Structure 1
């Protein structure tokens, strides 16, 4: 699909690939799928290109059609106002080169009055300007291109300030780390009392089982593997490699990790129905584990204490 995605992005078609490969994939979806709509979190540009190439369809993401470029959302719909607002603390400004960047703010008659029975959140996210236009602060940091399209590059609510006054985006790091083969879900943790990041990892259990076979381990229960030092070291090394390959800075890579045997799903309230992590609930549920990660004062340590027993959860 990489071959087709490359050529279709340049405006060409691949009829032979469509006939021999894509037609079989399309039949698995019923053979009549023409349009796919993506909502929720921004779609990874590689995933977007692969889906569009494999299914040979029109892919709609976020605001409008996205046929000319991958990794972006389209121009705003008719009647929707949009603007970028500087966010100095995060280092995003409308004066940035080569393209303006900032928090994406929507306005117009279509904007709702606020969050139901949540006055504090409403006051924080909504405002009315001197012309009477109602605006909604999305919390998404975007980059605006000359053709009017946007690219979501960060999330304001996931930005934290470390002890050394540097800001890091937890959401950006987590999105990158989820591409690691051993990571199913990850919660990166940090705060004003530390210069380091740590992480809770809900591992991909299938790949973790394969890793245990490679290491010749007899214990194949997920709980045992999550406490195995050799397994943790291999997973941590893969996470570091993922971060380095993505080009993030050294300070954005967690210095310690803790593997947890629990799968995070909407059923156990760790994820939303849109499969987004509920950070506050995860941090509350694993409060002791997180404190243990930050309590490790050995600066040479790269993984958490894997010998400690994690309590069982329903």
Structure 2
């Protein structure tokens, strides 16, 4: 990975005398820094071992509904429902923020310079983009655009009591369209841009969408399924420079096809009086890429959105109008949507990018062109464990390649900083921390622009190694978040002064969390020393249910005798003594083996994913057998590197995955990781199958959020599973 060549600045690795001099200076510096850190009182307040372990973050609370063990945030005796009294809807919050920060930067998009296609080794063509600096709109300009778009929708003929859907990648116009719809109290249906045709047709027909807003590149897909869509009348597309327009689309259907900018111009010439929503009106129907069957539409009210926004804002470090957030995750996913709502409410700047152009070495970045973060230099970032894991592995691989003094300095610096983060008296603080940051970690931080001061991570468990990597190499706290679409994301976020790992923090101030005993799984609220059970969430952020699916709604949503709405997550958690939650299992992932042992497939997968050879993994257990197996998508680069070093001959990657030597190598790696993670013997997969092709949303084997779809994978690999158990 490029960008780490200066990992150790001007280190005299070529001369032994230089190395000795450097280590002498380093030793003296370290000793001095430690002495100063102990002697000088001003360094002591910053040390994590002073009082942090005793801080109470969540406290028990009496609640209604099913019997269980409930916790609230220790900082608030009452649940908050909005950022302030007058911001009870998304429309009101957006308007107030835009008025307050009207002259400040808000939405940034990189200037498109050009694109080219290069031939890959397998003969396919790869798109490469040449992008320039960010071009900005102010809050005031964004508000005017949203109002114009709303008026344009009405003039275009959109009926105010029907729904509009957004089916496109994350970009400024997505957010403007989203906010614009609320100026006319139009419910927005959000759909992943990677959703398959069957799920797309189901989502649009079920919600009876009359206006579809999509990327220009999606128009071909839309026209191919037009005969299956029953209610769409208008199609509005986001223009993209270098991509032809949609003039030909109209010949395939009875739709009115219009560009986004044309709708804005139409609204500017024909302003419509706003028709603003109320707190209980439906803001969005968000289709989740469910792990089984067709996606479900979660009904989200304006009250849900502002409650989550307010609660998350409180737990983050103080946000400023000078803060810059990098937006690249799917806006159709609740995690990105709530993140952008939070930074918008604080008056921050949002710079848009994509996962394919994020860094200087991203797959769509033309050689010589900077990635999004290098140009934007963000201070705030939302991320998912997979991205952190890849960056961490790339850094460690680069350090191993350099070897010598560079490797020694990195390891020493990492250990010193780790000791400090974990509360050791002998950790690197004060002047010594400055030394390590500038000599060792500065260049690593440039991977994300060099200015990240806070990141939030969600979507899957974050490993201890990855969390410490962010803390030390990026020099920033990382908030582990737990949330789901059905609670509009907000359940917990670990607090910025909490340096523990493996936990997701206390309840946010917009909800209570209750654990309910699950006797069949052996998880009880009476368990000592920590109560355990199914996680149930109650409060104003809990959504209204599933669209046109009352049976499923009644199954997992309950209203107690006090009128509070609760959602049963299906996740298993336990509360630590300080009130923080730890996710330990999932009800659907529990399987009872032949001899009576219960195993958690999710637990096994979370442990084994840290193997250097694993890209994706699905554990499987047949209750008629005494052991489990695993299907593994190997990291191609790592497995091919091993094969080259081991002298293994093969014609293609599929052949390599089928070789006994490769299977044995990956299985040994899984065994070592399993032992390190303290898995029991029956939890370690006895046999594995290496799947050479990646699991993608397009293949239907993972969701748009890249979570595995068990039933689909089991169906596709039915014969392989049978052979492993033969």
Please, what TM-score do these two structures have when normalized by structure 1?
0.87
- Residue 307 of structure 1: aligned partner: none
Which stretch of the first structure deviates more once superposed, 173-182 or 53-62? 53-62
- Residue 9 of structure 1: aligned partner: 422
Cα distance in 1 for residues equivalent to 2:560 and 2:554: 13
Other structure's SS at 2:459 match: coil
Distance 1:164 1:128, change over 3 A: farther
* 1:212-223 matched pairs, under 5 angstroms: 212-223=643-654
Cα distance in 1 for residues equivalent to 2:643 and 2:438: 40
Distance 1:58 1:180, change over 3 A: closer
1:103 aligns with 2:516: no
Cα distance in 2 for residues equivalent to 1:117 and 1:199: 37
Cα distance in 2 for residues equivalent to 1:3 and 1:281: 46
* 1:141-156 matched pairs, under 5 angstroms: 141-156=572-587
Q: Which runs of 5+ in 2 are unaligned?
A: 1-413, 482-491
Instruction: Give yes or no for contact 1:160–1:167 (8 Å, CA) kept in 2.
Output: yes
Distance 1:116 1:42, change over 3 A: farther
Cα distance in 2 for residues equivalent to 1:105 and 1:2: 39
Instruction: Give yes or no for contact 1:2–1:50 (8 Å, CA) kept in 2.
Output: no
* 1:155-170 matched pairs, under 5 angstroms: 155-170=586-601
- Residue 369 of structure 2: aligned partner: none
1:235 aligns with 2:666: yes
Which one scores higher on RCO, CA 8 angstroms, separation ≥ 6? 2
Q: Deviations over 1:188-217 (max 9, x none)?
A: 111332222111111111111122123312
Instruction: Give yes or no for contact 1:243–1:253 (8 Å, CA) kept in 2.
Output: yes
Selected match of 2:459 from 40, 43, 46: 40
Task: Give the superposed CA RMSD.
Answer: 1.9
Selected match of 1:269 from 693, 700, 712: 700
Of Structure 1 and Structure 2, the greater helix share is in 2
Q: Deviations over 1:200-253 (max 9, x none)?
A: 111111111122123312215211111111221222222222212221111111
Instruction: Give yes or no for contact 2:461–2:606 (8 Å, CA) kept in 1.
Output: no
Which stretch of the first structure deviates more once superposed, 113-122 or 49-58? 113-122
What displacement does 1:274 show?
A: 2.5
Cα distance in 1 for residues equivalent to 2:417 and 2:686: 39
Cα distance in 2 for residues equivalent to 1:78 and 1:107: 11
Distance 1:143 1:220, change over 3 A: farther
What displacement does 1:169 show?
A: 0.2
- Residue 303 of structure 2: aligned partner: none
Other structure's SS at 2:631 match: strand
* Runs of 4+ with >4 A deviation: none
Please, what TM-score do these two structures have when normalized by structure 2?
0.39
What displacement does 1:42 show?
A: 2.3
What displacement does 1:123 show?
A: 2.7
Cα distance in 2 for residues equivalent to 1:106 and 1:28: 37
Which stretch of the first structure deviates more once superposed, 278-287 or 1-10? 1-10
What displacement does 1:2 show?
A: 4.3
What displacement does 1:273 show?
A: 2.8
Q: Deviations over 1:62-108 (max 9, x none)?
A: 12224322221122111311111112222222222222222211001
- Residue 287 of structure 1: aligned partner: 718
Cα distance in 2 for residues equivalent to 1:157 and 1:121: 16
Total equivalences in the alignment? 295
Cα distance in 1 for residues equivalent to 2:575 and 2:697: 33
- Residue 115 of structure 1: aligned partner: 546
1:258 aligns with 2:689: yes
Selected match of 2:473 from 47, 51, 54: 54
- Residue 246 of structure 1: aligned partner: 677
Q: Which runs of 5+ in 1 are unaligned?
A: 297-314
Other structure's SS at 2:545 match: coil
1:92 aligns with 2:523: yes
What displacement does 1:135 show?
A: 0.9
Q: Deviations over 1:241-288 (max 9, x none)?
A: 221222111111112111111111233232223222121221121122
- Residue 71 of structure 1: aligned partner: 502
Greater C-alpha Rg: 2
- Residue 348 of structure 2: aligned partner: none
Which stretch of the first structure deviates more once superposed, 262-271 or 276-285? 262-271
